[in-house]
């Protein structure tokens, strides 16, 4: 058997599930299979709470690790070698494994960490570590043991009749497998925040669909393309995504002509929420998701959020609500959306931006302003005008 053709995948929170654990594990296996489907010669199986990925030997480890570690629900992944659970065989495999580490990484010190999941195995973990350590010392003359700060930790994991040997655990994102927590409609702008919000909800198992508003011809087709490119980055984690694209300009014009200037932003936001709710209902989404963050801008003060929420009945998830902007930016960098988000294209919110937006709107006043508009007709017309774009993963 080739040495690099098996990967141990550990589940995160999925392992804590009680009765539903098999369902979560099965969903996770399906997700991993999907993420590997474009790579021929891979198989995914489940055994004793672990997931194993086996691949043809010519497939680079980096490719497998990248595709698997981005699946939500994966806690960590280890490229490994396997052998029979027999101390001589484990010793030989460990020596071969370490010779390769010496050649590739120039390691000089090591420590064996043994684990015996199979408690019927007659030798206890500390003794396994000692015996295998001694065999490695004999087989790899350049190596010394360092129990405090070794260059390489050699993990020996005994399970039933098979033993797995590896030296690294590459972290995944954790979370729960996609599809285990309903479907949400994300209000997706071209900014930094909303792609992160979408990613965070998807990480908890939620399938994501998106609605994007533009103000063409005030906003350019290039701005819309940027949103599609952002969605494609998010889709790398969430799978294919449908975006509902809606021109908000007719509504913005009505607001500007009929309502007080300082209320423009909050009024526009309420229309966005109403339209998003309608689109969400039509597409069987259970929640709205936004990238709002308490106090970040005028429309995200506590008062503004209360007034925004009051026009919809569907729950509105705001996963970034209590985060600092710098931390949101760090997350955007980590998931790979940041560079795209900061490309300078106008957003529909910046069209007709009031000079002094109200930061403490009162619901009665806002409702008075809206009474001058035919809200239902405007919302219906906007929903009817939607264009749908499908983003591949
Ligand atoms: P972001 O970085 O996500 O654009 P922001 O700090 O610019 O956020 P706002 O422009 O006030 O904040 O928008 C708040 C939220 O409203 C966004 O996170 C997003 O969920 C939604 N939103 C804003 N503009 C749009 C848009 N053009 N289309 C769809 N949703 C939008
Ligand atoms: Mg924005």
- Which of 189, 248, 251, 275 is the best mutation target for the ligand 1 pocket, counting ligand atoms within 8 Å of the beta carbon and taking the most? 189
Query: Which residues line ion ligand 2, judged by CB < 5 Å?
Result: 189, 191, 347
The ligand with the least distance to the CA atom of 268 is: 1
The C-alpha atoms of residue 190 and residue 219 are separated, in whole angstroms, by 12
The residues, any chain, with a CB within 8 Å of residue 310's CB and separated by 6 or more, are 363
Measured in angstroms, how far is the CA atom of residue 191 from the centroid of ligand 2?
5
pLDDT at 16 over 80: no
Work out the pLDDT band at 58, boundaries 50, 70, 90: confident
CA 368 to chain centre: 41
pLDDT, tens digit, 9 for 90 and up, residues 250-279: 999 999 999 999 999 999 999 999 999 999
The residues, any chain, with a CB within 8 Å of residue 330's CB and separated by 6 or more, are none
Residue nearest to atom 21 of ligand 1 (CA): 187
pLDDT at 3 over 70: no
CB atoms within 10 A of CB 392: 9
**Domain map (residue ranges) of the chain:** 4-171, 183-391
Average pLDDT of the residues in 220-235: 95
**What percent of the chain lies above the pLDDT cut of 90?**
87
Measured in angstroms, how far is the CA atom of residue 369 from the centroid of ligand 2?
24
CATH homologous superfamily, domain 183-391: HUPs (3.40.50.620)
Measured in angstroms, how far is the CA atom of residue 206 from the centroid of ligand 1?
20
The ligand with the least distance to the CA atom of 269 is: 1
The ligand with the least distance to the CA atom of 188 is: 1
- Locate the ligand 1 atom nearest the alpha carbon of residue 299 and give its number: 11
Q: Is 300 within any annotated ligand binding site?
A: yes
Average pLDDT of the residues in 21-35: 93
The C-alpha atoms of residue 173 and residue 176 are separated, in whole angstroms, by 9
The predicted model scores a pTM of: 0.92
The ligand with the least distance to the CA atom of 272 is: 1
Pair 226, 219: CB distance under 8 Å = no
DSSP E strand stretches across 172-304:
183-187, 207-214, 241-247, 287-289
Measured in angstroms, how far is the CA atom of residue 197 from the centroid of ligand 1?
10
pLDDT value for 135:
97
| Torsion angle, alpha carbons of 369, 374, 376, 380, to 10 | -120
- Closest Cα to residue 172, out of 222, 97, 237? 237
Pair 222, 255: CB distance under 8 Å = no
Measured in angstroms, how far is the CA atom of residue 189 from the centroid of ligand 2?
5
Task: Indicate the helix (H) or strand (E) that contains 81.
Answer: strand 74-84
pLDDT, tens digit, 9 for 90 and up, residues 163-210: 999 999 999 999 999 999 999 999 999 999 999 999 999 999 999 999
To the nearest whole number, what is the mean pLDDT of the chain?
Answer: 94
Task: Indicate the helix (H) or strand (E) that contains 363.
Answer: helix 363-370
Task: Write the class of the CATH domain 4-171.
Answer: alpha beta
- Which of 190, 193, 220, 252 is the best mutation target for the ligand 1 pocket, counting ligand atoms within 8 Å of the beta carbon and taking the most? 193
CB atoms within 10 A of CB 180: 21
CA 265 to chain centre: 30
Work out the pLDDT band at 316, boundaries 50, 70, 90: very high
Q: Strand pairing partners for 42? A: 55
pLDDT at 31 over 70: yes
- Which of 184, 185, 186, 187 is the best mutation target for the ligand 1 pocket, counting ligand atoms within 8 Å of the beta carbon and taking the most? 187
Measured in angstroms, how far is the CA atom of residue 365 from the centroid of ligand 1?
23
The C-alpha atoms of residue 90 and residue 368 are separated, in whole angstroms, by 77
The answer to whether domain 4-171 and domain 183-391 are alike in fold is: no
Query: What are the pocket residues of ligand 1 if the criterion is a CB atom closer than 6 Å to any ligand atom?
Result: 187-189, 191-194, 211-213, 272, 290-292, 296-297, 299, 347-349
Pair 237, 70: CB distance under 8 Å = yes
């Amino acid at each position: 058997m080739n040495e690099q053709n098996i990967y141990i995948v550990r589940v995160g929170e999925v392992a804590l599930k009680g009765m539903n654990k098999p369902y979560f594990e099965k969903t996770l296996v399906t997700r991993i299979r999907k993420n590997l489907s474009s790579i021929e010669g891979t198989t995914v199986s489940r055994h004793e709470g672990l997931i194993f990925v086996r691949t043809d030997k010519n497939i680079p480890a980096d490719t497998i690790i990248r595709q698997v570690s981005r699946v939500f629900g994966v806690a960590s992944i280890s490229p490994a070698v396997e052998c029979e659970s027999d101390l001589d065989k484990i010793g030989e495999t460990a020596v071969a494994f370490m010779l390769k580490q010496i050649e590739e990484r120039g390691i000089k010190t090591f420590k064996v960490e043994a684990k015996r999941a199979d408690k019927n195995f007659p030798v206890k973990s500390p003794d396994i570590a000692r015996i295998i350590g001694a065999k490695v010392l004999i087989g790899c003359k350049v190596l010394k043991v360092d129990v405090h700060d070794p260059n390489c930790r050699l993990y020996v994991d005994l399970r039933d009749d098979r033993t797995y040997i590896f030296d690294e655990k590459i972290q995944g994102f954790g979370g729960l497998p996609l599809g285990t927590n309903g479907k949400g409609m994300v209000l997706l702008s071209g900014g930094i925040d909303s792609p992160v919000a979408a990613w965070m909800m998807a990480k908890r198992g939620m399938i994501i669909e998106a609605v994007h508003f533009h103000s063409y011809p005030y906003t350019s087709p290039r701005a819309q393309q940027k949103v599609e490119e952002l969605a494609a980055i998010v889709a790398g984690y969430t799978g294919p995504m449908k975006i509902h694209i809606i021109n908000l300009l007719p509504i913005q014009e009505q607001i500007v002509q009929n309502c007080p200037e300082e209320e423009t932003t909050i009024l526009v936001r309420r229309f966005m929420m109403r339209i998003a709710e309608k689109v969400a209902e039509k597409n069987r989404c259970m929640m709205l998701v936004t990238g709002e963050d308490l106090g970040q801008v005028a429309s995200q003060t506590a008062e503004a959020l209360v007034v925004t929420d009051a026009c919809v009945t569907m729950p509105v998830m705001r996963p970034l609500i209590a985060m600092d902007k710098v931390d949101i930016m760090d997350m955007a960098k980590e998931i790979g959306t940041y560079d795209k988000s900061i490309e300078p294209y106008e957003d529909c919110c910046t069209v007709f931006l009031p000079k002094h937006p109200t930061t403490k709107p009162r619901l009665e006043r806002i409702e008075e302003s809206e009474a001058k508009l035919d809200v239902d007709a405007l919302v219906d017309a906007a929903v009817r005008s939607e264009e749908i774009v499908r983003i591949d993963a």
